[in-house]
Structure 1
Amino acid sequence: MSASFFDSPAHLSGGPLTPRMRAEMPFELVGPRLQAVCGNFTPVPMPRQQTVSGGIEVRRAGGVDVALIGQNLQRVHRDAQAIRRDDREHFFLVFQDHGGALMCQGAQQIAVQAGDIVLIDSARPSEFVYDGASSQQVSVHLPRADMLARFGPTLQGGVCVRRGDALGFAMRAILARLLDSGQSDDAHLVEAFLGVFGSVLVERARQAPALLSRNAGEGVLRRAMDHVALQFHDPAFHAGELARHLGVSPRLLQRAFEALGVSPSRHILDTRLAAARAALDAAARQGGPAPAIAQVAYDCGFNDLSFFYREFRKRYGVPPGRLALGPLTH
């Protein structure tokens, strides 16, 4: 009897997809390498970190790119400005292979460990937190337009498949065969992989609130989060304006955001705070004169400076001026 792609001993035992990468990279090379492989992402080092342990490489398998990324950074993030500058759009299906991470997209924060899988949408802001611990991920790059055409509005960033899930097991086994083969004509394996992933989406759709069905406004949450990522910097932008843009009632918009456990207004505020922190972090890393806090606040959509100071401190535990001394490590 011929072997199947479920016969890999590593996956029968729950082992990793790839060996741990242990190369030493100067930190200044990590950003350009990440951009070449994944698009516009900003790496953030730990305090006084000058080298990064791991590696960044890309393989072509079955007509799709598969990135192997190992590092011990503080975090990596992608904001709305980076999205606008990037002409590549993908869904990243990220397999946590060694170590762990906190994968954040919108208001979702998903703690993953080895064996977990999470879907990230490159068209929405995201942040991956490692806090200096060694972490290695295998990221399957799925062209966004193709995936939306195939799966429709059921496809949203933040889908997580936990280690031990039967469908996740099947996806890992197929990906292992793709990585082992490395043949460009393995399209049948990619089809099998996407077929199993489609089954994951069907399960999630059955579990989703009725508001994500066709009768309740398909894709309201995804479209809302996309629009917030593009408009948060406008101080006049608010939840009412978001509802008008989407053509839905404020009540339906409120119900859509219940899936994330936040209100639309809270999500807009959190997006603005995250953008302000990213701007202050970047300025602190570059050295030179400290940025004007007021200007950063206004650029991120705040028109009340005292409100910005108060909410920033509540969210991050320090005043925004603290970041002039160096990036936060949490």
Structure 2
Amino acid sequence: MTQADDKESYRAWLAKVNQLCGNFAARPLDGKFYGEIDSGYARGLKLSTVTTRGVNLYRSREEIKRGNDAWFYTVFQLEGQAVMEQDNRQVILEAGDITLIDAARPCSFYWQQTSRQVSLLLPRQKLEHLREISSAERLPNHLPMVQLSHRLLQESMTSPEMNENESEAALEAIICLLRPVLHQLDARPSRRDRQFQKIMALIDEYIQSEQLRPEWLASETGMSVRSLYRMFADKGLVVAQYIKNRRLDLCAQSLRNAHDDEKLAGIGYSWGFTDHSHFSTAFKQRFGLSPGEYRKRYR
């Protein structure tokens, strides 16, 4: 096959993807391109079987606004390996795995080596019971519900005698089988909550350091200072105040175990208070006692 034939095959494949699956753009990867896509409207099951390699298929804001986004792509990996990306997450699918990709948000698929998968369109309203769908999450092939979903899909694809009602029932059954797995994902902390937990852990890790300030925290976590303040405000907190109070609480804990000859200024300094006068004032504001009085009461 000539280079011109390869380009024509590539353009024809992308055009068919856009016809069957919605608007996508693509770019070639290293290696020789190969692409096939078979339409699959098994009655009520709107699906496509994609066999390809050497291409990156993606859906940007531009493609989304020109097409329908009222569904999820439920990707059933049949053979080979595929890489799916969405919402700063990346999942590597092996044969038997499943993932969900939201058609309303940018996504990217990478097929470096030959891969075969079925993409089933799952109407968005079918998943309204879930608080937040975690897209680009691997539903692994060892889970019984995932295995049963694969079997049911393949049985439906090879049963031409199915009528519209039966195929609709098959779609509902696949959703029911995946629902327990999706509920587990739904119960996990959101990406924003995980980021907040990461920031709190970073504060504890560097609580004794002078460099621990909102600006440093934002830089270390790849956020703007404004976004950091907003994240804490959503929790009813002020980031600088939280750091100061966390330090004071740890100082109080140290004071309860301190010896009489241990210098108060040294205890404050060890938890990030470089100015003893500031430490003493802040401590009394929080606990109603000076550090010295607090140590006498709790020693």
TM-align CA RMSD? 3.0
Q: Kindly tell me the number of residue pairs found equivalent between the two proteins.
A: 198
**Contact 1:93–1:119 (CA<8 Å) still a contact in 2?**
yes
1:33 aligns with 2:13: no
Aligned to 1:136: 116
Q: For 1:211 and 1:127, how far apart are their aligned partners in 2?
A: 19
Residue 88 of structure 1: CA displacement?
A: 4.1
For residue 108 of structure 2, give the secondary structure of its aligned residue in structure 1: strand
Residue 73 of structure 1: CA displacement?
A: 2.6
Residue 53 of structure 1: CA displacement?
A: 2.7
Question: Which of 133, 154, 169 is residue 188 of structure 1 equivalent to?
Answer: 169
Q: How high is the TM-score relative to the length of structure 1?
A: 0.53
Aligned to 2:68: 87
Structure 2, unpaired ranges of 5+: 1-5, 194-222, 236-299
**Contact 2:130–2:183 (CA<8 Å) still a contact in 1?**
no
Question: Which of 66, 77, 100 is residue 47 of structure 2 equivalent to?
Answer: 66
Q: For 1:47 and 1:210, how far apart are their aligned partners in 2?
A: 35
Q: For 1:97 and 1:33, how far apart are their aligned partners in 2?
A: 20
**Contact 1:62–1:178 (CA<8 Å) still a contact in 2?**
no
1:77 aligns with 2:58: yes
Aligned-pair identity (%): 24
Q: For 2:92 and 2:127, how far apart are their aligned partners in 1?
A: 26
Query: Using a 3 Å threshold, how does the CA distance of structure 1 residues 48 and 204 change in structure 2: closer, same or farther?
Result: closer
Residue 205 of structure 1: CA displacement?
A: 2.9
Residue 112 of structure 1: CA displacement?
A: 1.2
1:147 aligns with 2:126: yes
Q: For 1:126 and 1:158, how far apart are their aligned partners in 2?
A: 9
Question: Which of 164, 169, 180 is residue 199 of structure 1 equivalent to?
Answer: 180
Aligned to 2:102: 121
**Contact 1:116–1:163 (CA<8 Å) still a contact in 2?**
yes
**Contact 1:154–1:201 (CA<8 Å) still a contact in 2?**
no
Query: Using a 3 Å threshold, how does the CA distance of structure 1 residues 141 and 60 change in structure 2: closer, same or farther?
Result: same
Aligned to 2:272: none
Q: For 1:174 and 1:241, how far apart are their aligned partners in 2?
A: 49
**Contact 2:134–2:185 (CA<8 Å) still a contact in 1?**
no
Q: How high is the TM-score relative to the length of structure 2?
A: 0.59
Structure 1, unpaired ranges of 5+: 1-23, 214-237, 255-330
Report the AA paired with residue 132 of structure 2: T
Q: Is the radius of gyration larger for structure 1 or structure 2?
A: 2
Q: For 1:90 and 1:128, how far apart are their aligned partners in 2?
A: 17
Aligned to 2:26: 43
1:209 aligns with 2:189: yes
Higher-RCO chain (CA-CA 8 Å, sequence separation at least 6): 1
Q: For 2:63 and 2:190, how far apart are their aligned partners in 1?
A: 33
Residue 240 of structure 1: CA displacement?
A: 7.8
**Contact 1:30–1:43 (CA<8 Å) still a contact in 2?**
no
**Contact 1:59–1:65 (CA<8 Å) still a contact in 2?**
yes
**Which is worse superposed, 63-72 or 157-166?**
157-166
Residue 192 of structure 1: CA displacement?
A: 1.3
Q: For 1:48 and 1:204, how far apart are their aligned partners in 2?
A: 36
